[in-house]
Structure 1
Amino acid sequence: MRVRQDVRSRAIEIGLSLVDQTKIVTAASELARNTLDYGGGGTARLQIVQDGVRRGVRLTFEDQGPGIADLQLALKDGYTSGKGLGLGLSGAKRLSNEFSIDSAPGEGTRVTIVRWS
């Protein structure tokens, strides 16, 4: 809940529209849940970034969990290694302007997303 509130505050601060606020908050919620459910907890870093005249919110979620063996499969809609609907990673990717993921078995996972104004 705190991640959602902090992300919304940052999104409002940089002037994201209500639709874009909802997109980044939803993506953050999915990634935070994955960090807890699959990574055993971790960290969330929120940053306001600027690229020329654009401002954005960059979110990085990192855990030291078991990692993801097959990233392509994990990014497919409907794939889940647990009890979820299999829309967390793929949904977060669709809701973001930029998306990157680094993961390997036994090395944890780091997901970074950006939503630009």
Structure 2
Amino acid sequence: MVVADYSPETINIEQESDIVTARQVGRNMSKLFGFGTITQSRIATSISELARNIYLYAGAGAIIISPIEREGMIGLQITANDNGPGIPDIRQALDDGYSTSGALGAGLPGVRRMMDEFEIHSTLGEGTRVVVVKWSDQAKEE
């Protein structure tokens, strides 16, 4: 399978049902690229968390799911972009149990644990961008 033959998929997050759509696209793409079922679930859950954050805190944004290849490894890169209010304290937002919505506070810290690479940039009044990558490693799951 040649990753370059596949285009990134962009899912606009504007209503709650878009969260489900983004999750399904991520699961389908991870299955297509041969990720194991446990990793598929981690990818889908991470996408769901990122999309829900966009919906709850920014109102609208996008999830971009891109197949990538590096040093012979195949991965999925998920980018969550919004033009919302930004995150006042990223360090606090990455603490387990921290929540401004009354939820469990497992969102961003959980995504960081489930994915292989995690990067976040946020500017108050301008928005937030989270980029995560999961590499296919079927040997771990066999």
TM-score greater than 0.5 by the shorter chain: yes
What is the identity, as a one-letter code, of the residue corresponding to 2:64? R
How many pairs does the alignment contain? 117
1:26 counterpart residue number: 45
Partner SS for 1:81: coil
Q: Deviations over 1:13-64 (max 9, x none)?
A: 1111111111111111001000100111101111000012210111101111
1:107 counterpart residue number: 126
What is the identity, as a one-letter code, of the residue corresponding to 2:115? S
Tell me the distance in 2 between the aligned counterparts of 1:52 and 1:87.
Answer: 32
Higher mean C-alpha deviation, range 66-75 or range 78-87: 78-87
Partner SS for 2:58: coil
- The structure whose Rg is larger is 2
Task: State, as a whole percentage, how many aligned pairs show the same letter.
Answer: 41
Structural mapping, 1:1-117, within 5 Å? 1-117=20-136
Unaligned runs of 5+ in 2: 1-19, 137-142
Structure 1 residue ranges (4+ consecutive) displaced by more than 3 angstroms after TM superposition: none
Q: Tell me by how many angstroms 1:83 deviates.
A: 2.2
What is the identity, as a one-letter code, of the residue corresponding to 2:43? I
Partner SS for 1:32: helix
What is the identity, as a one-letter code, of the residue corresponding to 2:51? A
What is the identity, as a one-letter code, of the residue corresponding to 1:77? D
Partner SS for 1:20: helix
Cα RMSD after superposing both structures: 0.7
Unaligned runs of 5+ in 1: none
What is the identity, as a one-letter code, of the residue corresponding to 2:29? R
Tell me the distance in 2 between the aligned counterparts of 1:42 and 1:17.
Answer: 29
Indicate the structure with greater helix content: 2
Tell me the distance in 2 between the aligned counterparts of 1:53 and 1:20.
Answer: 19
Partner SS for 1:48: strand
